[in-house]
Amino acid sequence: MNPSLVQVALPLPIHQTFTYAVEGDAPAAGTRVRVPFGREERIGWVIGPGEEHHSRGLKAVLAVLESSPSLPEEVLGLCQWMAEYYVAPPGIALRAAAPAVLTDVSRDYVVPGALGDGRLTPRQRRVVEALSATSKPQRVSSLRKRLDMGSIWPEIRALAAVGALSYQTLPPREPSVRRRRVVRLVRWLADLAEREEVLGKARRQREAYDVLEAAGGKLALSQLLAQGFARSVVEGLESRALVELGDEELARDPFAAREVVPPARLTPTAAQSEAIERLASALEDRARRPFLLHGVTGSGKTLVYIELLRRVLESGRSAIVLVPEIALTPQTVARFRSHFGDKVAVLHSALSDGERYDAWRALRSGEKCIAVGARSALFAPVQRLGAIVVDEEHEASYKQSEAPRYHGRDLAVVRAELAGAVCVLGSATPSLESWSNQARGKFVRLDLPERVGGGRLPTVRVVDLREVRKARLAASASNGSDKAAAAEGGVVLSDQLVEAIRQRLGRSEQIILLLNRRGYSSFVQCRECGDVRACVHCSVALTYHRLRHRLVCHHCRHEEEAPRRCLRCGSQDLSFRGIGTEQVERVVAATFSGARIARMDVDTTSGKWSHHEILGRVEKGEIDILLGTQMIAKGLDFPRVTLVGVVNADVGMHLPDFRASERTFQLLSQVSGRAGRGPLGGEVIIQTSLPEHHAVRAALAHDYLAFAKRELAARTQPPYPPHVRLANVVLSGPESEPVASAAEAAARWVRRWILRATADVEVVGPAPSPIERLHGRWRWHFLLRTRAAAELTRVAQAFLTGFDPKDAQLRIAFDRDPVALL
């Protein structure tokens, strides 16, 4: 047979595909292949037929890894759309869609050999010394990293030639599928007489038979052995042709062991019914326009999703449900599991690679037909997709922060369109992008204006922190206490909030306190010289964590001992300023002795199920006050929570980012929505120094429309999304000056290209990024701004493939439709 040519995308950061020869017919697009690449072997994806290549001879595919493509055509199409729109390398886009275990690379190992006494170069000696530590085979890549002396391949080859070491290459790994041996009953013995006849005096075999029969005819071999049956007993049954031994694929599903609560059967309200019917008829018509489900907090959006999914399943189709961060929305996920049981694959961020692969295969085979997960669940390989639900569509976590920098919500719309599926974006506080799409008729709006069960939205009160501070200052002046300390110390709990909490505690109701800032103090400042302790890798202040008595960088996780004296001038007069959740916990515990408090933030939720555990305790009434960062603001539904307190609403408001107000409004609205979800009603107290800010005022009045109107107007000058499309181009490198000049050169390059190509795109900048240094890298950025999306794609593609910074250290990150410009 004649060889065919295939185009292969490899998971590398290069905007290029490669052509290989393959014996016989070309494998279909979406098939994985193992190919030689440079001096190594890699796994890539066939994305189409290859074209004749002019340069040197083509290499041949080493192995076609699957008989039918593992990536469905639809997912492949989605990845190609993503690669083009977000201007990401095609192989990187594909890697984002597949379980990690499917894209391994070859590994090189070195083993020390006989130490010859030939002359070695200093570089060779370093390699030998690094190797002599152990006699075990070592990965070349880790050796290289440890030595930090560039490529060590010339040394390895030279050393191997004199016998000082040997090396071998292991091919890329294929994913392991866990199997277990199972014993299966193949002949059923009808009655006692037959048992007597077949088994006779073989007492243990007879008992084993009974156990197997009771278990439904199939049992893991290990289970039988664990019950004390000897191997020979099983063999006896096998020789009598009563059972067969076989292998069974084992799905690693950590959720299988979790309890499933029975579904609560709820009757939809009129508004819910209408939404459900609209969605159901769209499902039948295969209507293409996405829906924006705008429902106030507590209006029962989840019920609408569940009814839609029910109809999707009835029509024999499958569905995808995106949630912002799976660990943070256990209650929502639990509801899907309770209704659809083992049809649901939960793609949890804490899954191991093997577990993720198992879930993926279960979806691929149709064994499970609802994928629930964070943004990557979008690529679930389900067949006959009927619907995609994006819950809390406004959430910033739908944006991937590394290449491919896609937005889960926007890509959900694209996949639904490719599949002819219904797409529902739900939120109490829709993103302004979705809101404007709805206003322009691109999306269809569905409203759930009221809470279910006659619940009312909570009343919201504002406490002006400026007034509180003034009052406390005056009080401390009159009673002679330290005025400076009082001014600096910040207010944690105002009298109004203390009183409201006390009331709830007295009535055994529950309280949620939000402060969107971790740690104890957000910075440490020397009173003598004013120096603020900053991260050694990032241009941000370090946060003081009191429990560990350490300063921590919340960007790169750098940690150091908390100082006793100023590291610049030596003064011991340090002030710990700015309030974090750890401090709130301490103040609350001191103020309300006896109250049962739980804190939920990144620092207290490191374990796989720690979210579940904390929230479980709240659910069971073992917690009076739940305090935490934004992770307590979403999706929680506890009817006994009657008070929500926002310790400081201003956190994040002053970030140099055009979405600062929007994020504040969303956070305040979402957390307010946790109050009064039961018959007890609810109240919200927001402490702020900006009571006049429109984000605060709109949250106070539960008035999304007023917020949207005001914020849309604010974004016209200068123009920001959704009025225009943006891309953020960030250049970074280890030295400050080369990054700055590269950014200048890059912006100049783009401006010239735009001029020549007469593209309708503006370049704004360059300028240092708001966070000028991150993870030890200096950062500059510029923006591309346009009203014409396609134009931006053209410009970005030209730039990313054509601009050469001539600096290997420099990295360029292209972020289209950014959620933050930091």
Partner DNA sequence: AGCACGCCGACT
Partner DNA sequence: GTCGGCGTGCTC
Q: Say whether residue 228 binds DNA (CB under 7 A).
A: no
Q: Rounded to the nearest whole angstrom, what is the least distance from the CB of residue 234 to DNA in the complex?
A: 48
Beta bridge mates, 399 = 407
Question: x/- site string to DNA, residues 445 to 464, per CB under 7 A?
Answer: --------------------
Compute how many other C-beta atoms are within 10 angstroms of the C-beta atom of residue 726.
19
Burial state string for 310-327 with b = 16 or more CB within 10 A and e = fewer than 16: ebbbeeebbbbbbbbbbb
* One-letter-per-residue 3-state SS of 103-148: CCECEEEEEECCCCCCCCCHHHHHHHHHHHCCCCCEEHHHHHHHHC
Q: Could you say whether residue 150 binds DNA (CB under 7 A)? A: yes
In the stretch 567-606, what mask flags binding to DNA with x, by CB under 7 A?
Answer: ----------------------------------------
Non-local CB neighbours of 794 within 8 Å, separated by 6+ positions: 757, 759
Q: Does 480 bind DNA (CB under 7 A)?
A: no
Closest to 344 measured CA to CA, from 315, 372, 311, 313 = 372
Contact code string over 678-707 relative to DNA, x by CB under 7 A: ------------------------------
**Least distance to DNA, CB of residue 7, Å:** 8
Instruction: By CB under 7 A, tell whether 801 contacts DNA.
Output: no
Q: Residue 517 — left, alpha, or beta (φ > 0 → left; ψ -120 to 50 → alpha)?
A: beta
Do residues 685 and 500 make contact, with C-beta atoms less than 8 angstroms apart? yes
**What angle is formed at CA 281 by the lines to CA 77 and CA 362, rounded to 5 degrees?**
45
List 23, 24, 59, 277, residue binding DNA (CB under 7 A): 59
Residue selected from 25, 39, 216, 256 as contacting DNA according to rule CB under 7 A: 39
Token duo for residue 807 = 């600096």
N-terminal to C-terminal alpha carbon distance within the chain: 56
Q: How far is the CB of 162 from DNA (least distance, A)?
A: 14
- Closest approach of Cβ 115 to DNA, in Å? 18
Q: Is 140 in the site for DNA (CB under 7 A)?
A: yes
CA distance 362 to 358: 6
**Taking a C-beta distance cutoff of 8 angstroms, is the pair 689, 466 a contact?**
yes
Please report how close the Cβ of residue 37 comes to DNA at its closest, in angstroms. Answer: 4
Q: How far is the CB of 746 from DNA (least distance, A)?
A: 15
CB of 792 to DNA, least distance (A): 22
Question: Mask 87-126, x = binds DNA (CB under 7 A)?
Answer: ----------------------------------xxxx--
Binder of DNA out of 24, 49, 53, 186 (CB under 7 A): 53
Instruction: Indicate which single residue of 134, 141, 239, 741 sits in contact with DNA (rule: CB under 7 A).
Output: 141
Q: Which of 2, 55, 479, 508 binds DNA (CB under 7 A)?
A: 55
Determine which residue in the list 37, 86, 340, 720 makes contact with DNA, applying CB under 7 A.
37
Where does this chain touch DNA (CB under 7 A) — which range of 176-184, 653-661, 765-773, 800-808? 800-808
Binding to DNA by residue 745, rule CB under 7 A?
Answer: no
**Chosen residue from 3, 12, 106, 331 binding DNA by CB under 7 A:** 12
Q: Given the rule CB under 7 A, which of 143-151, 220-228, 420-428, 666-674 is the region that contacts DNA? A: 143-151
Return phi, psi of residue 134, to 5°.
-130, 165
Q: What is the DSSP letter of 174?
A: P
Stretch that binds DNA, among 50-58, 202-210, 500-508, 651-659 (CB under 7 A): 50-58
- Write out the DSSP string of 625-675: EEEESGGGSSS---TTEEEEEES-TTTTTTSSSTTHHHHHHHHHHHHHTTS
- Alpha-carbon distances of 51 from 2, 14, 582, rounded to whole Å: 15, 19, 61
Q: Is 149 one of the binding residues for DNA (CB under 7 A)?
A: yes
Residue of 153, 161, 247, 752 that binds DNA (CB under 7 A): 153
Residue 273 makes contact with DNA by CB under 7 A: no
275, with CB counted inside 10 A (0-12, 13-18, 19+), is buried
CB neighbours of residue 454 within 10 Å = 8
Residue 541 carries which DSSP code?
B
Q: Does 56 bind DNA (CB under 7 A)?
A: yes
Structure tokens at 215: 């278990």
Strand partners, 532: 525
Question: If you compute the radius of gyration of the chain from its CA atoms, what whole number of angstroms results?
Answer: 31
Instruction: Determine the length of the chain.
Output: 822
Min. distance of Cβ 400 from DNA in angstroms? 16
Who's near 193: CB < 8 A, 6+ residues apart?
Answer: none
Applying CB under 7 A, which of residues 107, 144, 335, 612 lies at the interface with DNA? 144
CA distance 777 to 746: 18
Told to check if 807 binds DNA by CB under 7 A, we report: yes
* C-alpha–C-alpha distance, residues 624 and 619, integer Å: 10
Binding marks (x or -) toward DNA, 651..680, rule CB under 7 A? Answer: ------------------------------
Helix (H) or strand (E) holding 205: helix 203-214
Give the strand pairing for 40-49 and 4-9.
Answer: antiparallel
- Judged by CB under 7 A, the number of residues near DNA is 35
Tell me which stretch binds DNA (CB under 7 A): 30-38, 272-280, 480-488, 596-604: 30-38
Residue 806 contacts DNA per CB under 7 A: yes
Report the C-alpha gap between 690 and 684 in whole angstroms.
Answer: 16
Residue of 3, 14, 225, 546 interacting with DNA (CB under 7 A): 14
Angle formed by the axes of helices 203-214 and 192-199, to 10°? 130
- CA atoms of 360 and 98, how far apart (whole Å): 8
Q: Which is nearer to DNA, 49 or 607 (CB)?
A: 49
Out of 1, 38, 606, 692, point to the residue binding DNA (CB under 7 A): 38
Region binding DNA by CB under 7 A among candidate stretches 136-144, 307-315, 583-591, 646-654: 136-144
Selected binder of DNA within 811, 813, 820, 822 (CB under 7 A): 811
CB closer to DNA, 38 vs 679: 38
Q: Which of 135, 151, 479, 508 binds DNA (CB under 7 A)?
A: 151
Amino acid (1-letter code) at residue 813: A
The residue behind tokens 């659809």 is 340
Residue 564 near DNA by CB under 7 A? no
**Which position among 3, 4, 28, 36 is part of the footprint of DNA (CB under 7 A)?**
36
Q: Give 725's strand partners.
A: 786
Piece of 55-63, 288-296, 523-531, 702-710 that binds DNA (CB under 7 A): 55-63
Of 17-25, 340-348, 355-363, 707-715: span binding DNA (CB under 7 A): 17-25
Which one of 51-59, 357-365, 437-445, 712-720 is the stretch in contact with DNA (CB under 7 A)? 51-59
Closest C-alpha among 375, 176, 345, 374 to residue 255: 345
Among 16, 134, 168, 572, binds DNA (CB under 7 A): 16
775: contact with DNA by CB under 7 A: no
Q: Which is nearer to DNA, 227 or 809 (CB)?
A: 809
Closer of 154 and 530 to DNA (Cβ): 154
Sites of contact with DNA (CB under 7 A): 12-14, 16, 18-20, 35-39, 53, 55-56, 58-59, 121-124, 140-141, 144, 149-151, 153-154, 804, 806-809, 811
